[in-house]
Structure 1
């Protein structure tokens, strides 16, 4: 069964942001600011991409959506970061309505729309466990009788970490949170045009049956200077530096290497 992931990398959508801007030019200026893009690239390199390279089931694709005005030198940098991830491809779009363009991209990516597929959203500053794709496929197979006549079905893993990354390495706290973007997958029946982007992730169980699993250590949610959801006043989440044992667990579960994080975030 085809598995498709969608990652928006500073794509200047019309809508889809909690941070508001006066017009699309202001949004593009904000998204493409050097300081912001530098942080996004560091998180993409050290957090988001390593776990995809290490997936125990490599049979998936990842579409990385960027704007058609994305600076060329940054596009080259992005191409370099995914050069050893054959599942990833870059897709360029002009500014368009957030949900409409993402739904169109996902449906166009289906090799055979008459066959069912799996979909997942992927934020450029988060990580999933290295067996996420394998677990998603297993959950669909094990729960096939539950799908029944439903056109869509959601699968959620609700335990992971909130983490901060910087020159000193990784600080984190374990969390229980249902229907985060990370480690949330969706089954879509053949000849159904709905996608995972039809729904706000935390509201997805309002619209379809869902299974939530409590397997530990399934995702890492990055908190950083440019989280769209944290630009307004929100409750802080205290984190503590990882121990050596926890750093080893992050390497094993998420392919996140604390030394790599320290090196990249210490660079000028």
Structure 2
């Protein structure tokens, strides 16, 4: 059984933006704005990448889906960041509707003789716990007999944190949510033409049986001004990390508040500014 994760990194999908962007050129101009890209890279470096790099079960593939026209300085920076993580593959993808595009990326990775798979998605500014891959594989094995007559089964982790990163460090709030995109995975049969990206994450439980994990905390969901949602309104409810939570972030998510302060205090590098 293969485990496949998908991350869309500033991919210029057709549709799906709250802003009125009428063509691919407008989407790319918005996505590749230097200030925006610096914000995305800093979150990716501090949240997504360390949590993926620290997975206790290393037998998985993490696909980073990017646009074919990503400017070379950003592509080079992404390659430099991920080169030491063998599970990561960067996949340049033509601009199209985001669900078919993501579906094709996952199916191409699985190949013609597709095995059974567990699939998950993770935004480029979120994180999952270091045991995420290990636990979802274990749950799939434990439910194998139960799943024999089911097309799919989902595994959801309800507990996590909303976080905001800044030069002051990390502000956070412990939360219990329902079917966020992070902390969610699903099984797929070898002959299934669909993928995790063909299902809206908040409706996944309407399409397949679901095992809900009430503990441990398994995700960090970032809140910031570039979130494509209303989540940024909740930043004021977050609090500075306590020593206990700071240690938890380090041990469970491989997220270091000291590195966050340093990274978010740094000026934009010349490569990104140009």
User: Is TM-score (shorter-chain normalized) higher than 0.5?
Assistant: yes
Q: CA deviation at 1:192?
A: 1.1
Is the CA contact (8 Å cut-off) linking 2:169 and 2:257 kept in structure 1?
Answer: yes
2:207 paired residue number: 207
Quick one: structure 1 residues 113 and 180, their matched pair in 2 at CA, closer, same or farther if it must change by over 3 Å?
Answer: farther
Is the CA contact (8 Å cut-off) linking 2:48 and 2:126 kept in structure 1?
Answer: yes
Q: CA deviation at 1:111?
A: 4.5
Question: Structure 1 stretch 93-102 or stretch 103-112: which is displaced more?
Answer: 103-112
Quick one: structure 1 residues 10 and 68, their matched pair in 2 at CA, closer, same or farther if it must change by over 3 Å?
Answer: same
Work out the CA distance in 1 between the residues paired with 2:73 and 2:50: 22
Q: CA deviation at 1:114?
A: 4.3
Number of aligned residue pairs: 267
Is the CA contact (8 Å cut-off) linking 2:167 and 2:261 kept in structure 1?
Answer: yes
In structure 2, runs of 5+ residues without a counterpart are 268-274
Describe how 1:1-268 pairs up with structure 2 within 5 A.
Answer: 1-111=1-111, 113-230=113-230, 238-268=237-267
3-state DSSP of counterpart to 1:74: helix
Work out the CA distance in 2 between the residues paired with 1:59 and 1:193: 23
Q: CA deviation at 1:19?
A: 3.5
Deviations 1:230-266 (A, max 9, x none): 38x9566610000122111100010000001001000
In structure 1, runs of 5+ residues without a counterpart are none
Deviations 1:177-208 (A, max 9, x none): 11111110010012111100111100111111
Question: Structure 1 stretch 15-24 or stretch 183-192: which is displaced more?
Answer: 15-24
Is the CA contact (8 Å cut-off) linking 1:62 and 1:88 kept in structure 2?
Answer: yes
Work out the CA distance in 2 between the residues paired with 1:237 and 1:146: 44
3-state DSSP of counterpart to 1:203: helix
2:272 paired residue number: none
Q: CA deviation at 1:147?
A: 1.2
Q: CA deviation at 1:25?
A: 1.9
RMSD of aligned C-alpha atoms? Answer: 1.5
Provide TM-score, normalisation by structure 1.
0.95
Is the CA contact (8 Å cut-off) linking 1:107 and 1:113 kept in structure 2?
Answer: no
Question: Structure 1 stretch 178-187 or stretch 108-117: which is displaced more?
Answer: 108-117
3-state DSSP of counterpart to 2:237: coil
Work out the CA distance in 2 between the residues paired with 1:15 and 1:42: 25
Work out the CA distance in 1 between the residues paired with 2:221 and 2:65: 20
Question: Structure 1 stretch 116-125 or stretch 233-242: which is displaced more?
Answer: 233-242
Question: Structure 1 stretch 238-247 or stretch 35-44: which is displaced more?
Answer: 238-247
Q: CA deviation at 1:112?
A: 6.0
Is the CA contact (8 Å cut-off) linking 1:19 and 1:228 kept in structure 2?
Answer: no
Is the CA contact (8 Å cut-off) linking 2:224 and 2:235 kept in structure 1?
Answer: no
Is the CA contact (8 Å cut-off) linking 1:116 and 1:190 kept in structure 2?
Answer: yes
